């Protein structure tokens, strides 16, 4: 039982990171209808920004804050320079997806050029100590990941439900043509969406780096887990990303522990989950089925 709780908590901590990356994917999917394959690499890039700022002597929290701002700017610039010129993602979704795959390779290469291929060590944002409750040890880093997810979810809730900007972003997501007709500068909002997604990705990257080591490969597995998370939760649901992320985290830590077949294939639960969801409930748990009445 204690062993199970231990594995479960690790899974929740990892799941919180998948959920954060997933939230970024959902924000972009909702407004553009495309999956951003570069989401993980943008997170990796801005995590290197955090490392660079921390490495010159800034305290970790400040480095993360500045890294998130830097991530926001990089995300927005990438949209303006590479995504926007391709055209309306609602009309050419495939072209935009291909661009994000190109960005995946491009950003990865750029990071290798700037920071080299060897692992950097990034201090854990929430320290490396742990607390023990009823014999179950929990790293502060895992608790911090869950707290960060809660904070991000809260900020997104306020943004999307309580502000005029968020209302406009939801309008763009639901019907971009009508959003333009009511005076919303649709392209500028898509740019903001990319910025927000990259800023949240920074947090996911910073929380991943201490355990995996900071290298240009940092987010590649995490991205696959995040894809599984939003497939389960629904591509266009923020709540879905959170529920999906935690579920994928728990499955990926418990299954390999107790089912010997998964021991050597830690990614298998995520893939099986993607397949099952697509077969049984393609829109995911919370995703919308595109109901429309004419």
Work out whether 91 is an interface residue with other proteins (CB under 8 A). no
Shorter beta-carbon distance to other proteins: residue 186 or 255: 186
Residue ranges in the chain assigned as alpha helix (H): 2-32, 39-55, 60-78, 93-115, 140-162, 164-174, 176-181, 186-212, 220-233, 238-258, 268-280
Q: Are 179 and 172 in contact (CB under 8 A)?
A: yes
Chain Cα centroid distance, residue 245: 9
| Residue span 16-55 as binding mask against other proteins, x where in contact by CB under 8 A, dash where not | ----------------------------------------
Stretch of 8-16, 184-192, 227-235, 270-278 contacting other proteins, by CB under 8 A: 184-192
Residues 6+ apart with CB under 8 A from 159: 165, 166, 169, 196
Choose between 186 and 274: whose C-beta lies nearer to other proteins: 186
Within 10 angstroms of residue 40's Cβ, the number of other Cβ atoms is: 30
235 burial type by CB count under 10 A (0-12 exposed, 13-18 middle, 19+ buried): buried
Nearest distance from residue 154's CB to other proteins, in Å?
21
Among 164, 260, 264, 280, binds other proteins (CB under 8 A): 164
Residue found by looking up tokens 């608790």 in the block: 143
In which region does residue 288 sit, left (phi positive, over 0), alpha (psi from -120 to 50) or beta (all else)? Answer: beta
Q: Could you tell me which residues come within 8 angstroms of residue 118 by beta carbon, excluding any fewer than 6 positions away?
A: 215
Give the count of residues interacting with other proteins (CB under 8 A).
Answer: 23
Is 186 among the residues that bind other proteins (CB under 8 A)? Answer: yes
Q: If binding is defined by CB under 8 A, does position 113 make contact with other proteins?
A: no
Q: According to CB under 8 A, which one of 124, 180, 213, 266 is a site residue for other proteins?
A: 180
User: Segment near other proteins (CB under 8 A), from 43-51, 53-61, 174-182, 245-253?
Assistant: 174-182
Among 114, 177, 258, 263, binds other proteins (CB under 8 A): 177
Interaction of residue 175 with other proteins, rule CB under 8 A = yes
At residue 130, what are phi and psi to the nearest 5 degrees? -140, 160
Kindly state whether residue 85 participates in binding other proteins, applying the rule CB under 8 A. Answer: no
92 binds other proteins (CB under 8 A): no
The nearest distance, CB 136 to other proteins, in angstroms, is 42
173 sits near other proteins (criterion: CB under 8 A): yes
- Note the residues at the interface with other proteins (CB under 8 A): 164, 167-168, 170-171, 173-175, 177-186, 288, 291-294
């Amino acid at each position: 039982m204690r062993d199970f709780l231990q594995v479960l908590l690790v899974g929740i901590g990892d799941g919180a990171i998948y959920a954060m990356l997933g939230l970024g994917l959902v924000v972009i999917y909702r407004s553009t209808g495309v999956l951003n394959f570069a989401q993980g690499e943008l997170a990796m890039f801005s995590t290197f920004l955090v490392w660079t700022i921390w490495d010159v002597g800034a305290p970790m929290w400040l480095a993360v804050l500045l890294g998130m701002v830097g991530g926001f700017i990089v995300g927005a610039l990438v949209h303006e320079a590479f995504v926007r010129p391709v055209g309306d993602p609602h009309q050419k979704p495939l072209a935009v997806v291909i661009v994000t795959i190109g960005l995946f390779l491009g950003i990865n290469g750029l990071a290798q050029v700037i920071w080299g291929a060897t692992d950097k060590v990034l201090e854990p944002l929430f320290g490396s100590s742990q607390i023990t409750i009823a014999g179950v040890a929990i790293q502060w880093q895992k608790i911090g990941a869950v707290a960060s997810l809660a904070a991000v979810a809260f900020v997104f809730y306020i943004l999307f439900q309580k502000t005029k900007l968020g209302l406009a972003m939801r309008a763009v997501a639901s019907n971009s043509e009508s959003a333009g007709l009511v005076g919303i500068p649709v392209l500028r909002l898509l740019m903001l969406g990319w910025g927000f997604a990259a800023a949240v990705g920074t947090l996911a990257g910073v929380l991943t780096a201490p355990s995996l080591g900071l290298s240009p490969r940092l987010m590649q597995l995490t991205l696959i887990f995040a894809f599984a998370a939003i497939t389960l939760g629904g591509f266009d649901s923020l709540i879905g990303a959170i529920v999906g992320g935690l579920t994928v985290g728990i499955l990926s830590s418990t299954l390999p522990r107790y089912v010997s077949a998964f021991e050597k294939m830690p990614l298998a639960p995520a893939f099986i989950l993607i397949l099952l969801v697509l077969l049984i409930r393609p829109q995911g748990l919370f995703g919308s089925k595109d109901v429309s009445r004419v």
